[in-house]
Chain A
Amino acid sequence: MKKGKMAALRAAFPYTIPIFAGFWFLGLTYGIYMNVSGFNFLYPCLMSLTIFAGSMEFITVDMLLGAFNPIQAFFMTLMVNARHIFYGISMLDKFKGTGLKKLYLIFGMCDESFSINYTAKVPIGIDKGWFMFFVTLLNHFYWFFGATLGGIFGSLITFDTKGLDFVMTAMFVVIFLEQWLKDKKHINAVTGLVLSTLCLFIFGKNNFMLPAMAAILIALTVMRKPLEKGGVA
């Protein structure tokens, strides 16, 4: 069994190399961002371990700097991470028979771990459960490592970090664009942009998220028939 684990780790590692580069960079930026926002390195360290959902951790920094509003925080998390529900649905069968590891596989199912575990062909003779376990664990470690380092050494940065918070916008623009390039039709993407902007103007920057989320859900539900007909879904 010990040997089996090592083999699974060796098989899993190459798949995670691209994630290593990405998580190292984004994690480091996230740690520095928390540092320059005035947080002790323990924050990125613990948040990267427990939340382990990159975009949500950036948003949490912003929420921690604002007014205390746990209900909005909860619903915002549900909306931002709603896609995980659909990852889970896709992994129902793949996670079968992985024993207790299943709990960690579900806990650590970020976008990147999902995309590797969903698409990778596990080599013959390698335990599928341990393979997915190590993919998840390695990714988790890269993110934690980068975030903590950023949190510790962020204070040593001597250049002007004004504008660094744009990294969050840049990240969302890239994710949005990737999704856009993948989709055939863009009514849903445009709906998200337009309704959010409208709600921002109507409700103001502190109160627009919940109405925006509700508006998007309602609009997508109403548009179900035409959208399904149009071939988006």
Chain B
Amino acid sequence: MSVTQQIITIAVVVLGTMVTRFLPFIVFPSGKPTPKYIQYLGKVLPAAVFGLLIVYSLKNVNIFTGSHGIPELIAIAVVVLLHLWKRQMLLSIAGGTICYMLLVQLVF
């Protein structure tokens, strides 16, 4: 990617983010009720999108070759267990990442 393409990509991300933040204030002037369908999406979309993001962040993992996604699986289990145990976001993220780094550097 050239620098110009990089700048365009970043600008597009900024624009997209701003659209999601400013849209309600433009589309729904205060006083009017929000459409039911939009309210519904507001409740069910976040969980589904977070699932999509997990898959996105793992898209380079190939379960058929290399380490078959085993280090990823172990590290995700560590994140989940740490989080269910302490419910400390930073601890879960740091613990899982360090575990993964150790696995791919020393074991696999």
Contact between B52 and A213 (Cβ–Cβ < 8 Å)?
A: yes
Contact between B52 and A188 (Cβ–Cβ < 8 Å)?
A: no
A96 at interface by CB-CB < 8 Å: yes
Q: How far is it, in angstroms, between the C-alpha of A69 and the C-alpha of B33 when the chains are bound?
A: 37
Residue of B nearest to A176 (CB): B50
A55 cross-chain contacts in B, Cβ below 8 A = 53
B103 cross-chain contacts in A, Cβ below 8 A = 163
Contact between A189 and B50 (Cβ–Cβ < 8 Å)?
A: yes
Contact between B47 and A186 (Cβ–Cβ < 8 Å)?
A: yes
A83 cross-chain contacts in B, Cβ below 8 A = 20, 42, 45-46, 49
Contact between A63 and B97 (Cβ–Cβ < 8 Å)?
A: no
A20 to chain B, nearest CB (A): 12
B40 cross-chain contacts in A, Cβ below 8 A = 224, 227-228, 233
1/0 per residue, CB under 8 A from B, across A196-216: the answer is 110010000100110011001
Q: How large is the interface on B (under 10, 10 to 19, 20 to 34, 35 or more residues)?
A: 35 or more
B51 cross-chain contacts in A, Cβ below 8 A = 176, 189-193, 196
Contact between B47 and A179 (Cβ–Cβ < 8 Å)?
A: yes
The number of A-B residue pairs with CB atoms under 8 Å apart is 253
A171 at interface by CB-CB < 8 Å: yes
A190 to chain B, nearest CB (A): 7
Contact between B60 and A205 (Cβ–Cβ < 8 Å)?
A: yes
A1 at interface by CB-CB < 8 Å: no
1/0 per residue, CB under 8 A from A, across B67-95: the answer is 00001100110011001100001101110
B42 cross-chain contacts in A, Cβ below 8 A = 83, 85-86, 89
**Which A157-172 residues sit within 8 Å CB-CB of chain B?**
160-164, 166-172
From A25, A56, A196, A233, contact of B94 by CB (8 A): A25
Q: How far is it, in angstroms, between the C-alpha of A232 and the C-alpha of B16 when the chains are bound?
A: 28
B80 cross-chain contacts in A, Cβ below 8 A = 173, 177
A92 at interface by CB-CB < 8 Å: yes
A190 cross-chain contacts in B, Cβ below 8 A = 51
Contact between A173 and B76 (Cβ–Cβ < 8 Å)?
A: yes
Q: How far is it, in angstroms, between the C-alpha of A76 and the C-alpha of B23 when the chains are bound?
A: 16
From B9, B19, B76, B100, contact of A63 by CB (8 A): B9
Q: A60-B9, A93-B30 are in contact. Are A172 and B57 (CB under 8 A)?
A: yes
**Which B1-43 residues sit within 8 Å CB-CB of chain A?**
1, 5-6, 8-10, 12-25, 28, 30, 34, 37-43
Q: How far is it, in angstroms, between the C-alpha of A88 and the C-alpha of B93 when the chains are bound?
A: 28
B91 to chain A, nearest CB (A): 10
Contact between B53 and A166 (Cβ–Cβ < 8 Å)?
A: no
Contact between B21 and A179 (Cβ–Cβ < 8 Å)?
A: no
Contact between B44 and A188 (Cβ–Cβ < 8 Å)?
A: yes
3 closest A-B pairs by beta carbon, nearest first, are: A77-B16, A192-B51, A192-B48
Q: Could you list 22 examples of A-B contacts with CB < 8 Å? A: A25-B90, A51-B13, A51-B14, A65-B1, A66-B1, A73-B9, A82-B45, A83-B46, A84-B17, A86-B42, A88-B25, A89-B42, A166-B96, A170-B92, A175-B53, A188-B48, A192-B48, A195-B52, A196-B52, A196-B56, A224-B37, A233-B39
Other A-B contacts than A78-B20, A91-B24, 10 sampled, CB-CB below 8 A, are: A74-B16, A75-B16, A85-B38, A169-B54, A169-B57, A196-B56, A209-B52, A213-B52, A220-B45, A224-B37
